[in-house]
Structure 1
Amino acid sequence: MNNNLYQILFDEFKNFENNICFDVPGQRKWSFKDVDILSSFFVSYLRRLGLKKGDRIISQTEKSIASVGLYLACLRGGIIYTPLNTSYTLSEVEYFIENIKPKLFVCSPERLKKISLTCEKLDIPNYRALGTSQDDPFLEEILGLEQDNKIEQCYEDDTAAILFTSGTTGKSKGAMITHGNLSSNAFALKQSWGFTRNDTLLHALPIFHVHGLFVALHTALLSASKIIFLEKFDTSQVNESLKEASVMMGVPTFYNRLISEEGFDKNIYTGVRLFISGSAPLTEKTFSEFKDKTDHSIL
């Protein structure tokens, strides 16, 4: 049995390959087949660079479907993925590079010049810029390659990702997260929250931490659910997207901003069955005000 998380996700959504996986408002819709193909192009590039199972990459990119494709490619290739907060300074990034020693660093285009100097200083062999536009040069290069559909054989205890702690009690430390950790968590959340392919998840979270990358994406992909994929939290856009959603995952500040929005109306949320909050404590005040205005309890 292949315990590669990507294999597990693929086995769940392959029977619905023509269903919409990602709906990016104002851009395009991506089917599950489209997403699988995108990840196969990315893993082809990674393997052409010589990356193999157990090698590491760092990604400090803005939220986009291309960034998701890169992450899924790392999973399917057995390559260890480390996402970094896009607000980290260059000195902070240097610390992470020294710890991870990646074979590839991927950043947003505006950071490439400074990142390249740091990578050269630290003998990091490969660095590339990945933007958010559909005509991004790196993305166009990726899509010009041959697909590589192989999914690497992985065991439950093989490392899938390294995420750094917040560093509130000292320097950030890398936490090694296995394919088994991620798959068992996704299955547990799918069951607990009753996710099915009939759900539509509103995703406005960043994808450089556990909540947005692992909890939200994995649970939806494992369930073959549709994902409305917002590049950032915008109150008016969230309100509009909630008309089509059945589940929303957010952080307390999201709900505080929704409550304070003029015209906040529970009629917008008639199709939503579940509101979830994580990453930080939800105050009793926010919980009560949201329930009073929407008749929904935030989980």
Structure 2
Amino acid sequence: MANTLYDALFAPLAGRASDLMILPDGRRISGDAFLRLVARQAHSLRAAGLTAGDRIAAQVGKSPEALAAYGAAVALGAVFLPLNPAYTPDEVDYFLGNATPRIFLCDGERAEALAPVAARHGARLITLNADGSGDLRQLSKGQPESIEPAERSPEDLAALLYTSGTTGRSKGAMLSHRNLLSNTEVLADLWRFTDGDVLIHALPIFHTHGLFVASNIVLLTGGAMIFMPGFDPEAILRLMPQATAMMGVPTFYTRLLSDARLTRELTAGMRLFISGSAPLLAETHQEFERRTGHRILERYGMTETNMSTSNPYDGERRAGTVGFPLPGVELRIMADGREAAPGEVGVIEVRGPNVFQGYWQMPEKTAEELRPDGFFITGDLATRDAEGYVHIVGRAKDLVISGGFNVYPKEVELLLDEVPGVLESAVIGVPHPDFGEAVLAVLVPRPGVGLDAQVVLAAVAGRLARFKQPKAAVVVPELPRNTMGKVQKNLLRETYAGWFA
């Protein structure tokens, strides 16, 4: 029977003796061995009651067994729901209550705390530890090592990914087999991945970047991945001579740049470095190219759309932009109900086979953000330059309206980041008795630098209209970020809400 994702990503692993995974401790897992693991897990999960259309939630550490659980869910036609291991039992309670999964995989160390949560929502709890041990391994012992996959069409759901929930309750984005496979096929072709590639995979697999971009591309193209439990600069620098490509978030690249061992010689065998999930500073682009001779390729995507744009593989990878819409993806920038002119700020809307099916059990939210013509309103503010490159300005919810004037944080942040001594900045709007909102700059100093906030503000004052100028600045050791490196401006707004009171 046909199963869209399984047939494309997993079935071709049968009989493959070459490596699919290279682990930091030296172990290697062939494609065929991984597929047999997928089959054993699928049989055990089926015996535990998982059937086509059921949800299976997984709050587990990154491991080959955790990735195999995704494959097992696909084989059974179930809907895979990965959850951040950092979520608390209270947060997990919401996800399980909303998604009502049949099976809940969790780490054994958290089983006692999570067992009542799973029971409350009718989910069977099965442990899967970071080292691969646990109930799932025991249940899989002796199970058949091949499986006939459940029939699944391109439009059937394959995954449920919850948004970060910075503005209210998280929403479950419904992603179909077509959504995931179409995006994987386009990216693999655009970024020139082949069976000769070895990808450094240090991203988490509870997020679309690590699971549905990195892992899926390697599975589709027959390549291999250095599969790391997390970002470990020492291991990456040691293993980089074995690799050809790397996907990461900006933090990966800034931390690698802090190590003198990152050189042209070390990266000589690499052909591609990709960054996403958060904006990459132009300075990081430039320094990485100077040190290694490689220009990082930046792209743009989100939970609801997978990837939507990319800088070109061949051609100028322009710092500060996310490139062009992917083949087959339509992108428009809308301002006041019309398409914005070049250079004008508007909200990105995208349409294509990558765009999700809607929000789980939230028809009103779906109607608000997914237009009848298929365009998804991303909430990201952007401009498009004369050459067609897309420049992300920020999130619509991060827009500051001060005295009736719109202030786009990115514009101010770019100037602040140029001031000597400033490592990075975040601009937010906080309540103000006269202006409604006022611009507040949160500054992170470079290591060993004593940063004077007033000196920084004076340095940018002459380059900004008065309504854009930060009314105050605060210096902090670091900015709060989520696991994918995005600055959590909602937390900054909460922290400094009373600054001008």
Q: What TM bracket, shorter-length normalisation?
A: over 0.9
- Residue of 142, 157, 160 corresponding to 1:159: 157
By percentage of residues, which structure has more strand? 2
Aligned partner of 1:8 in structure 2 is: 8
Partner SS for 2:183: helix
Aligned partner of 1:105 in structure 2 is: 104
- Residue of 171, 178, 181 corresponding to 1:180: 178
Aligned partner of 1:295 in structure 2 is: 293
Percent identity of equivalent pairs: 39
- Residue of 137, 140, 143 corresponding to 1:139: 137
CA distance in 2, matches of 1:282, 1:113: 40
Aligned partner of 2:223 in structure 1 is: 225
How far is 1:187 from its partner? 0.6
Partner SS for 1:243: helix
Asked if structure 1 preserves the Cα contact closer than 8 Å seen for 2:180 and 2:212, the reply is yes
Asked if structure 1 preserves the Cα contact closer than 8 Å seen for 2:44 and 2:139, the reply is no
CA distance in 1, matches of 2:115, 2:74: 25
CA shift digits 1:88-127 (9 cap, x unpaired): 1111110001100010100011110011011122332x10
Aligned partner of 1:81 in structure 2 is: 80
Asked if structure 2 preserves the Cα contact closer than 8 Å seen for 1:43 and 1:73, the reply is yes
Partner SS for 2:112: helix
Partner SS for 1:138: helix
CA distance in 2, matches of 1:258, 1:234: 10
Opposite residue 175 of structure 1, the aligned amino acid is A
CA distance in 1, matches of 2:141, 2:201: 25
What is the aligned-residue RMSD (CA, Å)? 1.5
Name structure 2 gaps, 5 residues minimum. Answer: 298-501
Aligned partner of 1:46 in structure 2 is: 45
Asked if structure 2 preserves the Cα contact closer than 8 Å seen for 1:12 and 1:223, the reply is no
CA distance in 2, matches of 1:137, 1:82: 19
CA distance in 1, matches of 2:158, 2:132: 27
Name structure 1 gaps, 5 residues minimum. Answer: none
CA shift digits 1:108-157 (9 cap, x unpaired): 11110011011122332x10110122554531431332335111111111
Count of equivalent residues: 297
CA 1:65–1:110 in 2, change beyond 3 Å: closer, same or farther? Answer: same
TM-score, normalised with respect to structure 2: 0.58
Aligned partner of 2:273 in structure 1 is: 275
- Residue of 211, 214, 219 corresponding to 1:213: 211
Q: Report whether the alignment pairs 1:236 with 2:234.
A: yes
CA distance in 1, matches of 2:160, 2:135: 28
TM-score, normalised with respect to structure 1: 0.95
